[in-house]
Amino acid sequence: MIKRFLYAFPTLLFIIFIVFLFLHLVPGDPAQVMLGVGASEADITVLREKLGLNRPLIVQFTRYVTGVLRGDLGDSFAYRKGVAQVVLERFPATLELTFAAMILACCIGIPLGVESSLRQHSSFDFLCRVIALVGVSFPVFWLAIQLMYLFAVILHLLPLSGRGGPVYTWNGLTHIILPAVALSSIMLPSTMRLTRSSMLEVLNQEYITVARSKGLREIVVVYKHALKNAVIPVITNIGLQFGMLLGGAFLTEHVFAWPGIGQLTVNAIFRRDFPVVQGVILVTALAFLVLNILVDISYAYFDPRVRHEMVKNA
Amino acid sequence: MRGQSSRTTSMFILTWRRFAKSKGGLLGLALILLLFAMAALAPWIAPHPPLAMDQKAIYSPPNLKYLLGTDELGRDILSRIIFGSRVIIKVCFSATLVASLVGIALGVMAAYRGGVIDDLIMRFADVLLSFPAFLLAIALVAFLGANVLNIILVIALTRLPRYARLIRGSALSVKQMEFVEAARAVGAGHLFIILRHVLPNCLGPIVVFSTLTLGDSILTISGLSFLGLGIQPPAADWGVMLARGKEYLLTAPWIAFFPGIAIFLTVMGFNLMGDSFRDALDPKSL
Amino acid sequence: MKNLRHVTMVISCFVLLGLLFLGSPDPSAAAKVGGTLKIAMYADATSLDPGGANDIPSQKAYNLLYDTLLAFDKNMQLVAHVATAWKPSQESKVWTFTIREGVKFHDGSLLTPEDVAFSYQRILEAPEAASQKKSSIAMIESIEAKGNEAIFKLKYPFAPFPGTTAQIQIVPKKLAKEVGNKSFASKPVGSGPFKFVEWVKDDHITYERNDQYWLKKPNLERVLLRPIPEGTVRAMSLMTGEVDVVDQVSSETIPRLQGAKGVELLATTGLNYYWLGIRQYGPPYNNLKFRQMVYSAVDMDGAIKTIFPNGNAVRAYGAVPPLIWPDDNKFLKDNGIRQDKAKAKKLFEELVSEGVMKQDTKIIVAMPNDPERLKLGEILVTNLKEIGVNAELKVMETGAYIDQAVKGKEPYIYSLFSVPRYLDPDAVFSWLFLSGPNGSTHGAKILGLEQMDPKINEPIEKARVISDQAERSKLYVALQRYLMIDRIYHIPAFYRTVMVGKRTEIQDLYPAPNDLFWLVTSFSNVWLDR
């Protein structure tokens, strides 16, 4: 356990280094890109100097790392502002969208998973699987545009794009529906499938039989007793997927003009805005790492066998 | 060691029987076989050359001459879809192959050498897993150039850590088993043990993960193409067709619709197969 | 008698009242004041500080906040704006601008020649300032504020100088110096028709009316700028009324928008020039016959019809965009090379037999990743393949493409577009072709014209210093004919029409050839009819 924690730091450093090295060895001079095609050599040189691009890589890297430890992720080339600020400005939007997608996936996935587990091998089961797989088999941007066309252009029910405000406002709510639906399609199948298999396992346990023999109503047995235990791996899986979604949901954000991190990163890559790309990768890698550790810990907490194993190895 | 091989064979047969019982799995298999057939027979079944531009027929809706319509340069969509299957197979299977081979090699090395090497490899896998896959793909392709090789490498890179983990876990558990000690005593080499015992043990998860990788890589490529980083035109590739077609969704929706269906059916096929394999290998689901 | 006087009075009253009504303006034609205009852009701005960014979305965004010395009218002719008069002296080496009185910044302070001098100085000094702006005013030696005049001393005589002032925004000296650049950029203050309210990145920029605007009171109460990257989504937003105006209508969505209820498309000639260039960095590209072959092989008219089926591009025969003089298109068209597959094939055979290239020499056509030029590239490759040339298309992401074009030394065929920085043929030719002792401009570098060709340099440099337009015109016409017909460094492709989509309730909106938003100008004041 402690080993895991200790390993996190060199891993993180390694990540930063790879990202840093990579971004700097790549074609495309950021000063040139920032100043445009009409820029003179002299200006580009001055800007490179100002951005510290002419110093040896080691020096640049050390500066960067010490900055990160202080919470300074450098300045964005394009926006001339702190990367941390640029990223944080867009964080709430992405967070909102990701949470909304997650909640949707759960609200649809978990009940469907439960019902499928009760009707194993039936047509309903098959149908559910197909529906879930449908969502994940379409490229998400294609699905997004179809949804938009249907609900906004033809039915005039929902707004087309953009974020109408914080999600607790009416405007914000109507704007988040379509992108959340599109994004949730990615998480739906695994959530559903995992609920199903987890429920199957739990339903075979003894305490369920006991509960049934006590005469409790089926619904209570299923939803109160079984689900409570079955949902654990589902939650941990969602936790992992959440990290993935946090990575940007680029395409969804791009299509819906959602002002989140995904769009920021894509634009930054095309603009050769190294600090922003580095910052986003760093933040998401960090989030992943933390999430992974948390997931491992939660496994230990819930499953005594794993806990025992971990203690033995620590 | 004949007993082992027949055990492996019977395991295959058993799994296959279970797989064949699942309607979804068979459907998936059928779709994939269709894909292969398209790719193999492309030059003979495509009604037009995939690159031929008919200037007089740009954006034509489906008609008798061009069964699925034409795109913005007057090229036949049906033919491009048929030829596109070749690109899909080439890129996706290569990527999956590379990912699995490298992942397996790394996992075995980690399990057998143990110690520092094990830690190093697992950290490396952790690092790779820490990057959001798509972001990594975009960054690598945007910076290194969007050609087929880079795309294959990028997809392989994002998937191989899990292969490595899978094999390592399986190899570790096999290592400890008694018959391995016996085999070693008789003088069996490591490679032999790996092939005979380790791989068959985790074949199941490998197969499942591979089919999911195949499906996922198609989506990754189309996502990359959407951003202009995928296979480059004028090659006939479903991702490119979809990406170009999104501009025409309001005026000529068939340009994006049919490649979208093609992608959908193929990814579905892989997913259904993977799903059914998973069920077939898991005795508890019966 | 009393009755007659009474009647006369009543009648005259009625007549007077009638005259009053006849004379007053028709109320139905009056512009309505108020309302919010929602505009969709294809990308978000990066900075609202004119010294901070020069990308087009930023320009469009900050153009609403600031004023310039001179501005354009409907036909892109220079008119007085913050400067009421301007005159050259010392043979166009010194330019004196008279600054209007009573122009106020959004914070209430008066605009003085000091602010003008400061704004220009700021661009010249800071390297972060998008260097493109800087190079367009690089000829300025010094600026002096004297009384109500701003006096520009140039390094050399430069007749087109007034045109360059239409691009430099005036910022308040005192405020900018006080708060520093970073702060200024987050709360920009100018003298323009709209004031800055807020900017939520990638989501929207909000402006509100500047009631003290010196030119006229803007009809619109608020303006909202929304970045929507997907062309299809922008079009759909216009159709549902979620936005009122869409700039950069993508050609693919045009047919749909033309038929949509409540939507109108406005078109105007663009100030851009797209071309196929042949880099001179090696054989066979630097062989004239090769270039003639490529020009004869490419079906440019057909390509334009395919790429712009809705007619939003005009075939170009020269480098000078419409709206800029001189217009020599007829001569260039009649005497330029036409598409002739047989001739192209013959030229190819000659090149092979003369040993300039082999039968299977790979000819690279490199294109950036934008749909129109990709199509152009595909068509060119196919055309070349048809005459037997082993042509290949290479696609690069746009940033890398430009980088490669400027820095690389490999020969290939490429495509770029340019928008002249000021409305003068000098901007066109010097950027594209001038190579000199001070280093070549990017256009020349990209072409590989590193060796100075006096036939190109001399006319450009000569035309800069003389003021007689007819004289200058002669020089440019001769130069263009030399470049396009004799040397064929460029194969002119097209001039893209500027298309703006708007809801029918939006009144008085003119599409701007320079792609900016003309909301409040000397000739217009946009209002909403709802």
pLDDT at residue A307, as a whole number: 56
Does A71 contact chain B (CB < 8 Å)?
Answer: no
How many angstroms separate the CA of residue B145 from the nearest CA in chain C?
7
Q: Which structure tokens are listed for C360? A: 């299977």
- Number of Cα atoms under 13 Å in the Cβ half of residue A159: 19
pLDDT at residue A3, as a whole number: 65
| Helices B115-130 and A274-302, packing angle to 10 deg | 120
Task: State whether A142 and B246 contact (CB < 8 Å).
Answer: yes
Chain C residues whose CB is inside 8 A of the A34 CB are 128, 130
Burial per residue of B86-120, b for 16 or more beta-carbon CB atoms within 10 angstroms, e otherwise = bbbbebbebbbebbbebbbebbbbbbbeeeeebee
- Nearest-CA neighbor of B238 among B88, B134, B137? B88
Q: Which structure tokens are listed for A127? A: 């149908």
Give the pLDDT mean for C431-442.
70
Does B57 contact chain C (CB < 8 Å)?
Answer: no
Burial per residue of B198-213, b for 16 or more beta-carbon CB atoms within 10 angstroms, e otherwise = bbbbbbbbbbbbbbbb
Residue at C224: amino acid letter: L
pLDDT at residue C20, as a whole number: 47
pLDDT at residue C28, as a whole number: 43
Task: State whether C378 and B74 contact (CB < 8 Å).
Answer: no
What are phi and psi for residue C435, nearest 5 degrees?
Answer: -125, 140
Instruction: Count CB atoms within 10 A of the CB of residue A232.
Output: 16
| Chain A / chain B CB contacts < 8 angstroms | 122
How many angstroms separate the CA of residue B229 from the nearest CA in chain A?
11
> Distance (Å, rounded) from C-alpha A32 to C-alpha A38?
9
Beta strands in chain A (DSSP E): none
CA-based nearest residue in chain A for residue B263: A138
Does A311 contact chain B (CB < 8 Å)?
Answer: no
Residue B121 has pLDDT above 50, yes or no: yes
How many angstroms separate the CA of residue C316 from the nearest CA in chain A?
23
What are phi and psi for residue B233, nearest 5 degrees?
Answer: -70, 165
Task: State whether B73 and C306 contact (CB < 8 Å).
Answer: yes
C303 close to C477: Cβ distance less than 8 angstroms: no
Q: Which structure tokens are listed for C144? A: 């002096």
pLDDT at residue A120, as a whole number: 76
Does A10 contact chain B (CB < 8 Å)?
Answer: yes
pLDDT at residue C224, as a whole number: 95
Element (H, E) at C500: strand C498-503
Give the pLDDT mean for C6-35.
57
How many angstroms separate the CA of residue A66 from the nearest CA in chain C?
24
Task: State whether A280 and B143 contact (CB < 8 Å).
Answer: no
Task: State whether A28 and C204 contact (CB < 8 Å).
Answer: no
pLDDT at residue A314, as a whole number: 44
Q: Is the peptide bond before C284 cis (omega within 30 degrees of 0)?
A: yes
pLDDT at residue B1, as a whole number: 45
Task: State whether B73 and C255 contact (CB < 8 Å).
Answer: no
Residue C3 has pLDDT above 90, yes or no: no
pLDDT at residue C11, as a whole number: 59
Residue B32 has pLDDT above 50, yes or no: yes
pLDDT at residue A140, as a whole number: 77
> Which has the higher per-residue pLDDT, C208 or A314?
C208
For residue B200, list its beta bridge partners. Answer: none
> Distance (Å, rounded) from C-alpha C233 to C-alpha C256?
12
C341 close to C387: Cβ distance less than 8 angstroms: yes
User: What is this model's ipTM?
Assistant: 0.77
> Distance (Å, rounded) from C-alpha C497 to C-alpha C250?
11
Residue C24: pLDDT band with limits 50, 70, 90: very low
Task: State whether C233 and A162 contact (CB < 8 Å).
Answer: no
**pLDDT tens-digit map of C315-334:** 999 889 888 888 888 898 88
Task: State whether A139 and B260 contact (CB < 8 Å).
Answer: yes
Task: State whether C128 and A44 contact (CB < 8 Å).
Answer: no
- Nearest-CA neighbor of B85 among B136, B38, B32? B38
pLDDT at residue A10, as a whole number: 76
Kindly give the confidence (pLDDT) of every residue in chain A, 314 residues in length, as a single tens digit, with 9 standing for 90 and above.
Answer: 566 667 777 777 777 777 777 666 666 676 776 666 556 677 777 777 777 777 887 888 887 788 777 777 777 777 777 888 888 888 888 888 888 888 888 888 888 888 888 887 778 887 887 777 777 777 777 788 888 888 888 888 888 888 877 878 888 888 899 889 888 887 787 788 778 877 877 777 767 777 777 777 777 767 777 777 777 777 777 776 766 666 547 778 888 889 988 888 878 877 777 778 778 877 777 777 777 777 667 666 655 555 555 555 54
Residue at B94: amino acid letter: S
> Distance (Å, rounded) from C-alpha B100 to C-alpha B165?
11
Residue B285 has pLDDT above 50, yes or no: no
pLDDT at residue C154, as a whole number: 92
Residue B278 has pLDDT above 80, yes or no: no
How many angstroms separate the CA of residue A105 from the nearest CA in chain C?
25
CA-based nearest residue in chain C for residue A27: C400
**pLDDT tens-digit map of C132-172:** 677 778 889 999 999 999 999 999 888 889 988 998 999 99
How many angstroms separate the CA of residue B6 from the nearest CA in chain A?
30
> Considering chain A, what is the average pLDDT of its residues?
76
Mean pLDDT check: name the lowest of A226-235, B253-262, C345-354: A226-235
> Distance (Å, rounded) from C-alpha C515 to C-alpha C57?
10
Torsion from C-alpha of C277, C282, C285, C289, nearest 10 degrees: 140
C483 close to C489: Cβ distance less than 8 angstroms: yes
Chain B residues whose CB is inside 8 A of the A142 CB are 242, 246, 256, 260
DSSP, collapsed to helix, strand or coil, labels residue A291 as: helix
Side by side, the strands of the sheet bearing C94-99 are: C83-89, C94-99, C149-154, C140-146
For residue B76, list its beta bridge partners. Answer: B70
Does A248 contact chain B (CB < 8 Å)?
Answer: yes
Question: Tokens 């190079």 identify what position?
Answer: C135
> Distance (Å, rounded) from C-alpha A129 to C-alpha A66?
50
Q: Which chains touch A (3 or more CB pairs under 8 A)?
A: B, C
Give the pLDDT mean for C63-73.
93
Task: State whether B131 and A284 contact (CB < 8 Å).
Answer: yes
Does A230 contact chain B (CB < 8 Å)?
Answer: no
Task: State whether C393 and B233 contact (CB < 8 Å).
Answer: yes
CA-based nearest residue in chain B for residue A153: B250
Most confident of B8-12, B224-228, C58-62: C58-62
Does A150 contact chain B (CB < 8 Å)?
Answer: no
CA-based nearest residue in chain C for residue B241: C371
Q: Which structure tokens are listed for C189? A: 């203050």
| Chain A / chain C CB contacts < 8 angstroms | 129
Domains and CATH numbers, chain A: 2-69 (no CATH), 90-313 (1.10.3720.10)
For residue C41, list its beta bridge partners. Answer: C227
Task: State whether B134 and A247 contact (CB < 8 Å).
Answer: yes
Counting residues of chain B whose pLDDT is more than 90, the rounded percentage is: 6
Residue C127 has pLDDT above 60, yes or no: no
DSSP result, B196-236: IIIHHHHHHHHHHHHHHHHHHHHHHHHHHHHTT-SSPTTS-
> Which has the higher per-residue pLDDT, B200 or C37?
C37
What are phi and psi for residue A82, nearest 5 degrees?
Answer: -60, 135
> Distance (Å, rounded) from C-alpha C482 to C-alpha C429?
12
Side by side, the strands of the sheet bearing C313-315 are: C313-315, C490-496, C273-278, C413-418, C362-368, C390-396
Does A17 contact chain B (CB < 8 Å)?
Answer: no
Give the pLDDT mean for B226-233.
71
How many angstroms separate the CA of residue B251 from the nearest CA in chain C?
6
Counting residues of chain B whose pLDDT is more than 70, the rounded percentage is: 81
Q: Which structure tokens are listed for A36? A: 């445009």
pLDDT at residue C86, as a whole number: 93
B243 close to B222: Cβ distance less than 8 angstroms: yes
DSSP, collapsed to helix, strand or coil, labels residue B271 as: helix
Give the pLDDT mean for B73-96.
89
In degrees, rounded to 5, the angle at the alpha carbon of residue C423 between the alpha carbons of residues C419 and C427 is 65
CA-based nearest residue in chain A for residue B214: A137
- Nearest-CA neighbor of C246 among B206, C254, C93, A119? C254
- Nearest-CA neighbor of A140 among A103, A183, A96? A183
Does B120 contact chain A (CB < 8 Å)?
Answer: no
Residue C398 has pLDDT above 80, yes or no: no
Question: DSSP state, C100?
Answer: P
C133 close to C143: Cβ distance less than 8 angstroms: no
Chain B residues whose CB is inside 8 A of the C309 CB are 58-59
Does A299 contact chain B (CB < 8 Å)?
Answer: no
Q: Which structure tokens are listed for B135? A: 């972001």
Instruction: Count CB atoms within 10 A of the CB of residue B258.
Output: 23
Considering only the C-alpha atoms of chain A, give the largest distance between any 2 of them, rounded to a whole number of Å: 85
- Nearest-CA neighbor of C193 among C217, C224, C227? C217
Task: State whether C252 and B232 contact (CB < 8 Å).
Answer: no
pLDDT at residue A39, as a whole number: 61
Give the pLDDT mean for C173-195.
90
Beta strands in C90-209 (DSSP E): 94-99, 140-146, 149-154, 194-200, 204-209
> Distance (Å, rounded) from C-alpha C199 to C-alpha C187?
9
DSSP, collapsed to helix, strand or coil, labels residue A78 as: coil
Task: State whether B249 and A247 contact (CB < 8 Å).
Answer: no
DSSP, collapsed to helix, strand or coil, labels residue C97 as: strand
Counting residues of chain C whose pLDDT is more than 70, the rounded percentage is: 91
Chain C residues whose CB is inside 8 A of the B254 CB are none
Option in C252, C369, C382 nearest B53 (CB): C382
pLDDT at residue C26, as a whole number: 40
Q: Which structure tokens are listed for C329? A: 């298109």
Mean pLDDT check: name the lowest of A163-167, B136-140, C384-388: B136-140
> Distance (Å, rounded) from C-alpha A89 to C-alpha C51?
23
Chain C residues whose CB is inside 8 A of the B232 CB are 393-395
> Distance (Å, rounded) from C-alpha C262 to C-alpha C503?
6
How many angstroms separate the CA of residue B18 from the nearest CA in chain A?
13
- Nearest-CA neighbor of C517 among C64, C36, C46, C53? C64
Task: State whether B131 and A269 contact (CB < 8 Å).
Answer: no
For residue C315, list its beta bridge partners. Answer: C494
Question: Tokens 């591009």 identify what position?
Answer: C313
Residue C12: pLDDT band with limits 50, 70, 90: low
| CA of residue C172 relative to chain centroid, distance | 26
DSSP, collapsed to helix, strand or coil, labels residue C269 as: coil
How many angstroms separate the CA of residue C419 from the nearest CA in chain B?
24
Task: State whether A129 and B275 contact (CB < 8 Å).
Answer: yes
pTM: 0.80
How many angstroms separate the CA of residue A169 from the nearest CA in chain B?
31
Outline where A169-273 has alpha helix (H).
Answer: 170-203, 206-213, 218-219, 227-246, 250-256, 261-270
CA-based nearest residue in chain B for residue A265: B135
Task: State whether B247 and C231 contact (CB < 8 Å).
Answer: yes
Residue B236: pLDDT band with limits 50, 70, 90: confident
pLDDT at residue C442, as a whole number: 72
